[in-house]
């Protein structure tokens, strides 16, 4: 009987010690936290690293999808191929289409560049007409008129540069072509800077934006596509 009491006492003491040890040691959450953190961030990282295919709708694919559908019997498919390598492919195509009419057009860099220049010259002439009318309007503020005068000089410089580009193309002078097209960037920038420095909004801002896109496209075609 004494031996039984002794064994029971030892067992009770052992259980008490085990319970005390398990309750006195604070539980560790580091493993569970790490698991939770990694599991929540892993999908995000995996998503960010998934390469997007062309069918997934990347910005460039969306741009291509906006390109006008051209009649294949009138326009060489190479037109879209040339325009897609510009910064503004939609405008590149839409600027040329009005000049095509029903005639057969075989797209190659020089012919596309010439039509882009023609479209740009037309837009610049529109800007000149509008600026001239605004300057002659007595309700136009003096500072605005002064900025418009600066823009008129820039517009005329663009027309002059474009003439020299066409001359250089006839002479197969690629260097002169790139130099004149590059100067157009400075010309339109001079106009924009005049209004920015005066801290006023240009009444020709939409035309200037269209002209800038045309300059960008002609430069891209003239420098990267035209080779003699």
| pLDDT, tens digit (0-9, with 9 covering 90-100), for 97-143 | 998 877 778 899 999 999 999 999 999 999 999 999 999 999 999 99
pLDDT at 75: 54
Cβ atoms of 54 and 61 within 8 Å: the answer is: yes
pLDDT at 76: 67
pLDDT at 104: 77
Give the structural domain span for 125: 77-225
pLDDT at 39: 35
Can you give the pTM of this predicted structure? 0.68
Cβ atoms of 100 and 75 within 8 Å: the answer is: yes
Task: Let me know if residue 150 belongs to a domain.
Answer: yes
**Which residues of the chain, if any, have pLDDT below 70?**
1-76
Task: Let me know if residue 50 belongs to a domain.
Answer: no
Say how many domains are in the chain: 1
Cα–Cα dist 196/143, whole Å = 12
Task: Let me know if residue 144 belongs to a domain.
Answer: yes
Task: Let me know if residue 28 belongs to a domain.
Answer: no
Task: Let me know if residue 163 belongs to a domain.
Answer: yes
Q: Which residues of 147-178 are buried (b: 16+ CB within 10 A; e: fewer)?
A: bbebbbebbebbeebbebbbebbeeebeeebb
The CATH number of whichever domain residue 174 belongs to comes to 1.20.140.40
Residue 118 to residues 113, 115, 145, 194, 218: CA-CA distances in angstroms?
A: 9, 5, 27, 26, 10
Cα–Cα dist 68/116, whole Å = 16
Q: Which residues of 60-70 are buried (b: 16+ CB within 10 A; e: fewer)?
A: eeeeeeebeeb
Q: What does the angle CA 207 – CA 211 – CA 217 come to, to the nearest 5 degrees? A: 150
Task: Let me know if residue 136 belongs to a domain.
Answer: yes
Task: Let me know if residue 5 belongs to a domain.
Answer: no
In whole angstroms, what separates CA 130 from the centre of its chain? 28
pLDDT at 103: 73
Task: Let me know if residue 170 belongs to a domain.
Answer: yes
Report DSSP state, residue 20: H
Structure tokens at 163: 């003439």
Cβ atoms of 204 and 130 within 8 Å: the answer is: yes
Residues 162, 93, 125, 157: what is their CA dihedral angle, to the nearest 10 degrees?
-30
Tokens 């998503």, residue located: 47
pLDDT at 28: 37
């Amino acid at each position: 009987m004494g031996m039984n009491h002794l064994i029971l006492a030892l067992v009770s003491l052992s259980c008490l010690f085990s319970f005390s040890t398990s309750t006195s040691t604070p539980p560790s959450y580091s493993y569970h936290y790490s698991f939770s953190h990694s599991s929540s961030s892993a999908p995000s990282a995996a998503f960010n690293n998934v390469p997007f295919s062309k069918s997934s709708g990347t910005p460039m694919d969306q741009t291509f999808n906006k390109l006008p559908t051209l009649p294949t019997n009138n326009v060489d498919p190479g037109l879209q191929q040339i325009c897609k390598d510009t910064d503004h492919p939609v405008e590149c195509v839409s600027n040329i289409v009005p000049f095509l009419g029903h005639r057969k057009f075989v797209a190659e860099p020089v012919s596309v560049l010439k039509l882009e220049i023609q479209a740009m010259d037309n837009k610049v002439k529109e800007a000149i007409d509008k600026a001239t009318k605004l300057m002659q309007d007595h309700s136009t503020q003096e500072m605005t008129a002064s900025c418009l005068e600066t823009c008129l000089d820039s517009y005329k410089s663009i027309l002059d540069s474009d003439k020299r580009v066409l001359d250089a193309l006839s002479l197969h002078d690629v260097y002169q072509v790139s130099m004149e097209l590059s100067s157009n960037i400075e010309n339109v920038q001079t106009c924009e800077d005049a209004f920015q420095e005066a801290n006023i909004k240009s009444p020709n801002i939409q035309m200037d934006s269209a002209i800038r896109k045309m300059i960008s496209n002609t430069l891209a075609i003239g420098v990267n596509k035209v080779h003699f």
